[in-house]
Chains A and B, each alone.
Chain A
Amino acid sequence: MKRLTFTGGVHPYEGKELSKDKPITEVRPGKELVFLLSQHIGAPAKPCVAVGDRVLAGQKIAEAGSFVSAPVHSSVSGTVKAFEKRKNAVGEMAEAVIIENDGQYEKVRYNPAESLESLSKEEIINRIKEAGVVGMGGAGFPTHVKLSPKEPDKLDYVLVNGSECEPYLTSDYRRMIENPEWIIAGLKCILRLFDNAKGYICIEDNKPDAISRMQSLTANEKRIEVKTVMTKYPEGAERCLINAVTGRKVNSSMLPADAGCVVDNIDTVVAVYKAVMLGQPLTERIFTVSGDAVKDPRNLSVKVGTSYNELIEPAGGFIGKPEKMISGGPMMGFALYGLDVPVTKTSGALTCFLHDDVSKEKETACISCARCVNGCPARLMPCKLATFAEHHDTEKFLEYYGMECVECGSCSFQCPAKRPLAADIKSMRRTILANRKKKR
């Protein structure tokens, strides 16, 4: 078995055994659901219901704000209670629609497609757009935009990202084990848009059963292949995965489509399948609750809008008082100060730790050991970039390609001096991007 990979990267403790054998179980949400209007990159969605309206599960409650945007659908039936600002996972207050769940789960009638062949390319894109499908790996880029490159005929590869390199996360893995046919069907829908493209399902070699499962199911598919990639963080980062599987290189000023590639997360492909073939909007996702602070780490099928608070109990509750809660995995996730945050289309996990490793670390002097340089998938010199960032030396920061950073955190992870390299570089990038926006 050939293992494909990229240069750089690190090997954190995987922690997948905690939840990898737990089948996906459904969680019923509580009374109040919060639908953020910005669950994606681009313009926020515009509400199209009024306070007091009764809505059904799957009904659109907010329209796409512009081309780069996505509509939001209610995941339950109930009444619209309010429009107000709520806290999101990053800690900002964001506009949201609040819906009171009536517990009926009465659905709107979906409009399934007769067959894939009966749909035109425009219809497929339109169905994806109407269903509010966005990249569910975390970035939340609207999928219909991603699937509408300037020259669709020049697209060579559609990569389904099943590498799941982030520690503790097992939701994509469970999807591949439990519903592999949905993934293949979703990939076929995407391949229908690109006549010259091949579909690759990319899986890290720490998931051999998922690989063999996918291989046996795609044995007769001419356009679909399963690619085994090395278990290494950040193998699933878009640029790393493209490089590992196709050998092509994408930098910060390019889109994957410029290199003839499109990368979609496993659950996104499933959402595409449901949107195109079943006419179902994106209202639920798989979610891993894991870490050493919960009794029974689990993979859950969660409705968008559910509060994180309600996801602790299905995982058996806390063992002790957790010190750190992370929305997402420990390498790239966001630390939460409270659990009063709604699930969005892009939230994939809640990692709960009894102890916060990071706060105990004391920063010491850089000894130029080059671990950060060797671990950087973007081939940068994080030790230098962080120093430039500390000095606010924009010129040097740009000269050393600071904007090419993918913010994977490999440098901080490996630093023996415990310097917050990734944090420094991240904040410098934010400052530079904000200044650029201002100038415009």
Chain B
Amino acid sequence: MSDLYQVSVSPHIREGVTTQKIMLCVIIALMPASVFGIFNFGFHALLILLVSMLSAVLTEYVYEKLMKKPITVSDLSAALTGLLIGLNMPPEIYWWIPVIGSVFAIFIIKQLYGGLGQNFMNPALGARCFLLISFSKQMTDYASKGGFLPLVTRVAATTDATSGATALAYLKNGSDFDLGALFVGNVQGVIGETSVIALLIGAVFLLLMKVIDFRIPVVYLGTFAVLVCITAAAKGYGNPFIFTVEELCAGGIMLGAWFMATDYVTSPVTNNGKIIFGAVLGLLTWLFRMVGSSAEGVSYAIIFSNCLVPLIEHFTRPTAFGIVKEKKSKKEAAKT
């Protein structure tokens, strides 16, 4: 019987893409921002990133071992979650806070809901919001000693940088901020969000590798920009356009739009759904940042929109090829 050939249902070839490769691509894409964060904020930032990744991977391993499930840490999705948690931490935070975050993200948000692909909310952001509530003081203390080598000389606008006020807090009052510093990233904030240029390099890499679709981030940023611009003009801020660009470059919106909102599991699979999802994100972020009392809003906007995904997917279900006409003609026939 050994002479028989293998049989299976067609197709008999597969593309090389795997979950592991996709996750690796995202991790690579986050490297510019991570490296910049370490240079900008110093050795402690590196420690935070490593601790978060390790604890996330370990949590998944231990859970799956205890539950006698197949070990899936090699798909790198836990490592990515850990890295994102680390990048969302203030630079001088106690090392055990991100560890709590990682355990919460992997154990509560991911594994208890059924593991990879089943969580309804982005684990890293869920953990961040959990930590923001639990450790609000530590989580919003952005004071930093400064990194290994200051990539750019500190600019005037960040004179009270040591006190830890973020660029967003300035913008909240409608005052201006140094756009160059925002773009390069020599400002206060969580480890991974400060450098727009580093994040954009990663985003372009993901777009080129066809790992992410442009729809969610572009619609998200676009909706947000339009709303902010209108608000700024209505409130009579100096130059609404410059203000809008500054809002886009400050805070976590770049990190959120390109790396967190595009998370496959917690975003719609349909193209129209992606557009709606992006628009909802833009609207919510605008509401939280410009209308609400908080300066930040990306994390909350994303986890809130994550919960809307099943609904969005339901309403944007594509009509199968060739079916549309039939329905329409039936309707037309019913009318006449």
Chain A positions near chain B (C-beta within 8 angstroms): 10, 12-13, 91, 167, 239, 243, 249-254, 322-326, 328, 330-338, 351, 353, 356-359, 361, 364-371, 373-374, 377-381, 383, 400-401, 404, 409-410, 412-418, 420, 422-423, 426-427
CB–CB B271/A331 < 8 A: no
> Do most interface residues of chain B lie in helix, strand or loop, or is the interface mixed?
loop
CB–CB B265/A368 < 8 A: yes
- Measured between beta carbons, the chain B residues less than 8 angstroms from A10 are 15
- How many inter-chain contacts with C-beta < 8 Å in the A-B complex? 168
CB–CB B264/A251 < 8 A: no
A337 to B4, CA, bound (A): 5
Which of B7, B22, B265, B318 is A416 in contact with, Cβ under 8 Å? B22
Q: A251-B322, A335-B7, A379-B318 known; A326 and B12 CB under 8 Å?
A: yes
Q: Smallest distance from the beta carbon of B9 to chain A beta carbons, Å?
A: 4
Q: A337-B4, A381-B270 known; A358 and B323 CB under 8 Å?
A: no
CB contacts under 8 Å to A, within B254-305, are 264-265, 267, 269-271
**8 further contact pairs, Cβ within 8 A, besides A337-B5, A379-B320:** A251-B326, A254-B322, A331-B11, A337-B7, A370-B213, A373-B270, A409-B11, A422-B11
B154 on interface, CB distance cutoff 8 Å: no
A328 to B10, CA, bound (A): 10
Q: Smallest distance from the beta carbon of B269 to chain A beta carbons, Å?
A: 4
A415 to B9, CA, bound (A): 15
CB–CB B10/A334 < 8 A: yes
> Do most interface residues of chain A lie in helix, strand or loop, or is the interface mixed?
loop
Which of A330, A366, A370 is B270 in contact with, Cβ under 8 Å? A370
CB contacts under 8 Å to A, within B91-143, are 115-118
Nearest opposing residue in chain A for B322, CB measure? A251
B13 on interface, CB distance cutoff 8 Å: yes
- Measured between beta carbons, the chain B residues less than 8 angstroms from A401 are 319-320, 323
CB–CB A374/B15 < 8 A: no
A88 to B223, CA, bound (A): 59
Contact size range, B: 35 or more
- Measured between beta carbons, the chain A residues less than 8 angstroms from B318 are 373, 379-381
A338 to B7, CA, bound (A): 10
CB–CB B264/A369 < 8 A: yes
Which of B9, B11, B321 is A379 in contact with, Cβ under 8 Å? B321
- Measured between beta carbons, the chain B residues less than 8 angstroms from A422 are 9-11
B19 on interface, CB distance cutoff 8 Å: yes
- Measured between beta carbons, the chain B residues less than 8 angstroms from A418 are 14, 18
CB–CB A413/B13 < 8 A: yes
CB–CB A251/B18 < 8 A: no
Nearest opposing residue in chain B for A417, CB measure? B19
CB–CB B10/A368 < 8 A: no
CB–CB A251/B321 < 8 A: yes
A361 to B271, CA, bound (A): 28
CB–CB A330/B13 < 8 A: yes
Nearest opposing residue in chain A for B21, CB measure? A416
A418 to B326, CA, bound (A): 34
